[in-house]
Amino acid sequence: MTKALPVLDGRFVRLEPLGEAHREPLRAACDADADIWTSLYPTPMNGSNLDVWWARLVSDPNRAGYAVIHHGEVVGCSLYTRDATNRRVEIGNTYYRPDARGGAINPEAKMLMLGHAFAPGGLMETGANVVQFRVDAINARSRAAVTKLGAHLDGIERHDRITWTGRVRDTCVFSILSEEWPMVRDKLEARLMALAMTAGAG
């Protein structure tokens, strides 16, 4: 992307634009779940596969990513893919190491990324018109997480792609429209506040 991503800070996570300093910590996070790459992801990111993935990311002018930092450690990543002509943004290629799943990390990371995507002057001058999520139909955990964010299921693209293992994937397409974002944001903020209070009480 022509515009550099800013650092985004929340209560639970810090999102830093993916850079070379994040490569090895991200590899370690991806190596923490060897099975997930053959069962769910369309392309692998563990071991030496991360270098192939990284090269594709940095060579694509319409993609950019964040390292997700929790307690000072890289626990995962999430990417933007931008279609500036149609003011569309996809948030995807999200991965968290197993101990970072559940809780506040994903909802806050997504809230920060959504806020930047929809903001005028963020990823594009007038802000995104729609943010989309594309989820493997068999990935029940991710489907539930995106639904809980407040995204709308637009439909399922059957036989959408062939994964690196040869499995033919159906893809669930979710979206949040710009006019829906304020309500989605308010619900996410309330959810995160409740999680913060629970953490404080513990």
pLDDT digits (tens, 9 = 90+) for 42-88: 999 999 999 999 999 999 999 999 999 999 999 999 999 999 999 99
Residue 3 lies in a domain: no
- How does residue 144 score in pLDDT terms, banded at 50, 70 and 90? very high
* 183 SS3 class: helix
C-alpha 119/C-alpha 31 separation (Å) is 34
Residue 2 lies in a domain: no
For range 34-41, the mean pLDDT: 89
pLDDT digits (tens, 9 = 90+) for 87-108: 999 999 999 999 999 899 999 9
**How many domains does the chain fold into?**
1
DSSP secondary structure, 13-29, as one string: -EEEE--HHHHHHHHHH
Domain range for 175: 8-201
Q: At what angle do helices 140-149 and 105-118 cross, to 10 degrees?
A: 50
Judged against a pLDDT cut of 70, whether residue 156 lies above it is answered with yes
Residue 1 lies in a domain: no
CATH code of 122's domain: 3.40.630.30
pLDDT digits (tens, 9 = 90+) for 160-187: 999 999 999 999 999 999 999 999 999 9
For range 15-38, the mean pLDDT: 96
Residue 90 lies in a domain: yes
What pLDDT sits at residue 60? 94
Q: Report how far Cα 140 is from the mean position of its chain's Cα atoms.
A: 16
Tokens of 126: 């007038």
Contacts (Cβ under 8 Å, ≥6 apart) of 52? none
